[in-house]
A and B are shown apart, each in its own frame.
Chain A
Amino acid sequence: MSSILCAVNTCKLFYVLYDRSVSFINNLRGGEKDNCIHTSKYNILTFLPINLFEQFQRVANAYFLFLLILQLIPEISSLTWFTTMVPLVLVITMTAVKDATDDYFRHKSDNQVNNRLSEVLIDSKLQNEKWMNVKVGDIVKLENNQFVAADLLLLSSSEPHGLCYIETAELDGETNLKVRHALSVTSELGADISRLAKFDGTVVCEAPNNKLDKFTGVLSWKDSKHSLNNEKIILRGCILRNTSWCFGMVIFAGPDTKLMQNSGKTKFKRTSIDRLMNTLVLWIFGFLVCMGIILAIGNSIWENQVGDQFRTFLFWNEGEKNSVFSGFLTFWSYIIILNTVVPISLYVSMEVIRLGHSYFINWDRKMYYPEKATPAEARTTTLNEELGQIEYIFSDKTGTLTENIMTFKKCSINGKIYGEADDDMGQKTDMTKKNKPVDFAVNPQADRTCEFSDHRLMESIKLGDSKVYEFLRVLALCHTVMSEENSAGQLIYQVQSPDEGALVTAARNLGFIFKSRTSETITIEELGTLVTYQLLAFLDFNNIRKRMSVIVRNPEGQIKLYSKGADTILFEKLHPSNEDLLTLTTDHLSEFAGEGLRTLAIAYRDLDDKYFKEWHKMLEDANALIDERDERVAGLYEEIERDLMLLGATAVEDKLQEGVIETVTNLSLANIKIWVLTGDKQETAINIGYACNMLTDDMNDVFIISGNTAVEVREELRKAKENLFEQNRSFSNGHVVFEKQQLELDSVVEETITGDYALIINGHSLTVYDQWFITLFNIVYTSLPVLAMGIFDQDVDDQNSMDYPQLYEPGQLNLLFNKRKFFICMAHGIYTSLALFFIPYGAFYNVAGDDGQHVADYQSFAVTMATSLVIVVSVQIALDTSYWTVINHVFIWGSVATYFSILFTMHSNGIFGIFPNQFPFVGNARHSLAQKCIWLVILLTTVASVMPVVAFRFLKVDLCPALSDQIRRRQKAQKKAKPSRSRRPQTRRSSSRRSGYAFAHQEGYGELITSGKNMRAKNPPPTPGLEKTLYNSTSWIENLCKKTTDTVSSFSLDKTVKL
């Protein structure tokens, strides 16, 4: 068991003890445990060795290095070293520059973070100190909206009872606020600097670890021990919110903080294409070795049979006097020559293409969310094409789909529906425009934002319908809402769940205004008269009860239980006399549910004074118990919440976010399965599922799964959630772009492989090509057009890809790039290379140029083949490019032009004059390309290699056209006949599903209310210099809710639809 002992006393000494065996003492100021962090990997001196070491750990680079070493052995070096060196140096330099820039920014941000200022208590004074100089044991003062510098033990805060609120978004991604709670002994210290400076508690706690939600430790102070848990700790990376100040003692600093402990190496994610490619590369490598062996054996045989007779002209080199050894050397030579068969450069190309795609994602205006001013952001560049293969989407909560703004729409009171539009049910959204809203002018405290309107209800209130009154009283009394008056004297509600807010606001608008509450009373204004109810008991909400009740005594002395909750639960608790009303209300509830509204049933019970007293006594006894307390309390709640009298039901609308229905419909047409992970009640989730077309009436088995095997489902969901947490972000980027990319990337893979194969097979028995050609082939001549195609190609335009979500399916099924495709590519490559070799071979055999000179020298042959290859590959790419932009033109024509200019440069007199041994091809381009027969050969080669491809493609499109082909064809037809883009009409959802109730509640607030902890203290303790901020501080509930509401719409799922 390892532990750290932090002892803090007035002379600022602390002890650290690991494993109880090693111990050392530091003086705190100037000690070792400072708060300095280093996320950077290198400094100027270590950059080169470390970076190179890291880079050569990559398979591709290691492979290149291996080749380079092979080439340095003169006996087997079949290509000069620069053929490998040039690309290797290029790749390594590029990566190094990228790493260096990244690290520079890391240094910069480290510096910035380390130099942030924080108020630290030094020598009994608050002084500004840089973060990096903060030490374990220091007492730090934090102010509102400040980042926390280190892991702190909360000592005291501006809020009552030592509460403080933090946002932990940086740590766990949750944006809602969390409460931290200082020990009562330390919270008394308040902001008293002198007392804080004398704080000399000793903390014994766990060793630094990465568990964000756990902390165990003990504070020994003033001869007593206090246990510490996570509730007392504020972690580095949090932001203090809605708390004007707080003091904390540093427990872990710098690299020991939980934040830093968590920032380990990020796991590198691979896409399925990556995995497939790795397999294929292994196969190719095997193929290469096989080829090497076959050719080496061939070489041995040749040396034995033919080469032996040729010995007079070319005898053995020293040390290789037999054909077997020659074969062995030949094997390695071929490994070098044929190295281009292993498409290592493909990895680089893929990286570049992915980078390009992620920029397109970032740049896309159609994925810009104006309300939050956020463009789409691709946080990782390695997973782009996976977006074209998504099969499942996990939505993290219901709030992702809905706006989470509740509006009170309808209610059923005593068998009558209110809030209905008179004429047309279906057009409820237009209701407010058609009908004049209820005139709340009589009620000066009405909230104008409420849309509810029904004159009949106003009539009933005026007539004094007692059931209606009781109904509204429940809404006004039974909740956890807090009220406040703002500076203008207006009543402001701080709501913890928006549903409740909607209900209380509705009651307020209808004349039952919740005014204020204490831990023992609730004051409401009933149609102008202030009435104070005594709060006798608060039967809190929890997930099992699915209801909430209050027991109040009204001024007349009657004790009443007011309850609201899920209809299914509440209906079981009703008094038998309610039967008629029950059937009526059930009908109404079904009606509400059919419209996708969230419903709650409302009921009350008159309680006998004596009965209540007995019950209350039992409740108090139960609360005093230590064992089985919860069970007993729950039993008592059950007991009193029976024989209820039904009042009616409420219907609250939680609007879906804009475009959710269309998105979900499209996604499901694209055969993407959507899973919603939700903490909501099952009923709510199902209801929303129906509302957004995620569930349809013929999908009954959904429920069976979620109902019966909940444990299993939860287990699976947990796994899925872990895997997908980070990817969620990119999902919402919309799927249209990715289809394009998917196709492109695949064709890139194809292209490069084809090119490589053509090159390799041509490697033949000697290095036919100019060495420079081999060096440059992949990098210069053919990479740019491939990249351009990969980045800019669009097989179908964006409008059509939206209109035909089915286009998405081939990606999911991996139809676009798989092993079969790969072998087709390989066959194509082999065919091309055969054509590229044998046509010039046949044509050059026994031929002379038009000046009578022989043209069949190997240099001319090499130039002819290289030129043919570049042209064939360019034509191939041109054929595969279905979307010709300027850039494609520039790159394709440009690379052909570059080829020729480089060819002529390298074959020029000047460069030969300088390096005669390196550039022996002098004059070759000039002579060869002046020959008519060479051009005829090039032309024939191109025709012979391209025609079959065109024919196959044509037949494929003709015989079994893919959807994308058909759409392209139509697209073209549309363009001719002036497109009239008619969106498919959206089918209106007509579901008969029974709605669940909705109640986005958390347990435990009832207790807070009755304990009175969250009530603002009448007389805040005098804290010098802090009064002002204290008065401005907001209430606890606002603190918690402020954040929660604006996170809801942060997922811009709806953006997909607008694409």
Chain B
Amino acid sequence: MTKMKKTSQICQSKLPDNTALKQQQLPAYRLQLSATGVLSGFFATGAFCLGVGIILILSAKSIKEIEIKYTKICANCAELREDAINFDKECTCSIPFYLSETMQGNVYLYYKLYGFYQNLYRYILSRSNSQLVGTDLKDVGNCAPFSKSHNGTPIAPCGAIANSIFNDTIILSYNLNSSIHMEVPMLRSGITWWTDKYVKFRNPSAINLSSAFTGTAKPPYWSKPVYELDLEDTENNGFLNDDFIVWMRTAAFPTFKKLYRRLNRVQYFIEGLPAGNYSFNITYNFPVTRFKGEKSVVLSTLTWSGGSSLFLGLAYTVTGAVTWLAAFSMMAIHLMLKEKRTLFIER
């Protein structure tokens, strides 16, 4: 008898546990592509996409945008900049234009480059984040080919990105009438990400900025050292310079626009940019003809989704339309087959 008991105990211990997990009996929902489910899903998705697409297209249409390519307009300046020898010769260029409609609301001023490969693999890596955050000015390890100057002092800010900074100055003036030309008030602040301005870019700590940067050289293409970018505003000087920060956020495509200024809505401009005559006064420094590129200035308003282009709206509309088309044909096929289908099981 004891033996029997013993064996039954052994059986018990060897018997696998009766848990849902071990017996593959976990409560589960079986996903099933039922005809009604799939078809209604398709119709709903199609409707949603069409709706979003139309809204996006409409809002994209409501955006007022003006783009002026000025490489050809300022051909003499462009020619001057072909040759690097003329780097210290100033060249300005004025581009008058007429704004036929008021640009309502916030207006943003961008510069746009064509054919500038800011996404080159070697280009993107050619920077030193530890230098830009102010902790280690001498860390120029990744900055080739712009890590050190000829005499061996580390460049600050080092790297190809910083060296190739967009250095045109763009001033927009409003010609109220033939005699009154006024500069349109622009804000420099708020054109960078908060994290960039306050986390990613920091000046080295020192009593004054120029002493902090002693022992470093300016990038070869720069006309002035980094601590002289904005002598009036310490919060905009050195690595904290907004234009510098914007440039350092490298673009994903060879054609890109970057935010330069935004309209300060005061006085005449409280509603936005009124219609009328304007001109861009550009100090032409950045050479683009060397790489067969082009540059332009862009004035633009925004909508709820930002400065969206037509593409997204069109893509949504097309997707929605295709989805509906697919849904209709699937329904047709399904209904056609329903009658003649003889299931294997039922046979």
Contacts and interface: CB of A to CB of B under 8 A. Distances in A.
Interface of A: 78, 306-307, 309-310, 312-317, 333, 359-360, 362-366, 368, 370, 373-375, 737, 765-768, 792, 794, 798, 804, 839, 841-861, 878-879, 881-888, 909, 912-913, 916-917, 920, 922-923, 926-927, 931-933, 936-937, 940, 943-944, 947, 950-951, 953-955, 957-959, 961, 963, 966-972
A359 B41 CA distance: 38
Given A843-B309, A858-B119, A375 B15 contact: yes
Task: Indicate the member of A317, A359, A841, A847 with the most B CB atoms within 10 Å.
Answer: A847
B307 A848 contact: yes
Contact of B17 (A312, A363, A967): A363
Contacts of B337: 958-959
A847 B315 CA distance: 15
A364 B256 contact: no
Interface stretch (B19-27, B203-211, B265-273): B19-27
Nearest to A767: B121
Contact of B145 (A314, A362, A854, A931): A314
A362 B132 CA distance: 59
7 contacts: A375-B15, A794-B28, A847-B309, A858-B118, A882-B32, A940-B312, A966-B344
Interface in B38-92: 38, 41-42, 45, 49, 52, 56, 84
Given A368-B16, A846-B257, 10 more contacts: A306-B115, A737-B24, A765-B119, A854-B249, A855-B306, A882-B31, A916-B135, A933-B305, A940-B319, A967-B345
A840 to B, nearest CB: 9
Given A314-B122, A855-B306, A884 B28 contact: yes
In the complex, the 7 A-B pairs of residues with the closest C-beta atoms, listed nearest first = A923-B195, A848-B307, A363-B22, A885-B26, A850-B306, A373-B11, A861-B252
A314 B125 CA distance: 11
Contact of A856 (B256, B305, B344): B256
B284 interface: no
Contact of B14 (A375, A931, A947): A375
A968 B200 contact: no
Contact of A315 (B145, B190, B291): B145
A869 to B, nearest CB: 16
Nearest to B39: A954
- Name the interface size band of chain B: 35 or more
A313 B164 contact: yes
A940 B315 contact: yes
Given A857-B249, A926-B195, A951-B42, A972 B32 contact: yes
A175 B160 CA distance: 78
A370 B333 contact: no
A853 B247 CA distance: 12
Contact of A917 (B14, B130, B163): B130
A856 B252 contact: yes
B258 interface: yes
A609 B259 CA distance: 127
* A364, A916, A926: most-surrounded residue (chain B CB, <10 A): A916
B24 A848 contact: no
Contacts of B330: 951, 954-955, 958
Contacts of B251: 854, 856-858
Interface in B302-328: 302, 304-309, 311-312, 315-316, 319, 323, 326
A957 B115 CA distance: 49
Contacts of B45: 943, 947
Contacts of A857: 249-252
B3 interface: no
Contacts of B333: 955, 958-959
Nearest to A78: B121
Contacts of A909: 195, 199
Nearest to B122: A314
Given A766-B120, A847-B309, A923 B193 contact: yes
Interface string B138-151: 01001011000000
A848 B191 CA distance: 12
A860 B249 CA distance: 10
B262 interface: yes
Contact of B345 (A370, A853, A878, A970): A970
A916 B35 contact: no
A885 B255 contact: no
Nearest to B163: A313
Contact of A375 (B16, B117, B126, B194): B16
A737 B164 CA distance: 64
A950 B302 contact: no
B38 A883 contact: no
Contact of B306 (A363, A804, A849): A849
Given A373-B7, A936-B52, A971 B315 contact: no
B305 A936 contact: yes
B42 A953 contact: no
Contact of A846 (B35, B190, B199, B309): B309
Contacts of A971: 30
A314 B24 contact: no
B292 interface: yes
B334 A845 contact: no
Interface in B95-117: 106, 108, 110, 112, 115, 117
A317 B33 contact: no
B228 interface: no
A881 B23 contact: no
Contact of B304 (A314, A916, A932, A961): A932
B18 interface: yes
B306 A848 contact: yes
A315 to B, nearest CB: 5
Given A364-B16, A936-B312, A969 B259 contact: no
Given A847-B307, A852-B307, A920-B129, A886 B190 contact: no
Contacts of B343: 961, 966
Given A313-B163, A933-B308, A850 B302 contact: yes
Nearest to A936: B312
B79 to A, nearest CB: 16
B186 interface: no
Given A312-B290, A313-B123, A370-B11, A846 B255 contact: yes
A788 B103 CA distance: 55
Contacts of B130: 916-917
Contact of A927 (B115, B160, B163, B195): B195
A850 B190 CA distance: 12
B26 A886 contact: yes
Nearest to B164: A313
B44 to A, nearest CB: 11
Nearest to B161: A313
B252 A923 contact: no
Contacts of A804: 345
A881 B326 CA distance: 24
Nearest to A920: B129
B124 interface: yes
Contacts of A970: 345
Contacts of A856: 251-253, 256
A963 B346 CA distance: 12
B126 A944 contact: no
B255 A845 contact: yes
Contact of B31 (A846, A855, A884, A916): A884
A1002 B34 CA distance: 63
Contacts of B31: 878-879, 881-884
B123 A314 contact: yes
A360 B22 contact: yes
Contact of B32 (A315, A961, A969): A969
A849 B337 CA distance: 49
A854 B24 contact: no
Contact of B119 (A766, A850, A954, A969): A766
A851 B190 contact: yes
Interface in B158-173: 160, 163-164
A767 B27 CA distance: 43
